Structure 1
Amino acid sequence: VTLPAVIYGDEAPLLETETGDVLKGVPTSRGYYTGPVTVVQGIKDFGKVNQGDVLVIPYSDVGWAPLFTKAGAVVA
């Protein structure tokens, strides 16, 4: 078996624009969280995330893991 030198994943999905001030989703853990929101669309935005922020990302995979330790909550 020969593996390629680089494995490319799927392209990031396009973000849909919604109006309003309520985010809805499927919870992956129990509880509620309130905090400042930081929208991160890619690695260029990683520096914007502060401890305790609600992290809003277009999708989730292992590439986002460094931010999960800072986030108070994640919306993907």
Structure 2
Amino acid sequence: MSNPKNNPKVNEEPENVDPNVPPKQEYLDQLQQDAINATIDFDPTEGEKIIRQGLQAWPNLIDAELQRFKQQFQKK
């Protein structure tokens, strides 16, 4: 059995993604939380990777969500 601390959780992007329809706020919030958890368990690079992977269908959101991630993590 693998240790979950060895594998950061990567949020799967929702099925049937339409890149013209932005993801739900709940998805973005969960992605942020997963990124923060990965940063705590590993390092900020893993958190950024989770956001980039989770938003592949919406590349125009990546920069804003990375900035949001960095701001949230600085508060922790």
Higher RCO (CA < 8 A, seq sep 6+): 2
Of the two, which has the highest radius of gyration? 1
Give me the TM-score of the superposition, normalised by structure 2: 0.31
TM-score by length of 1: 0.31
More helix by share: 2
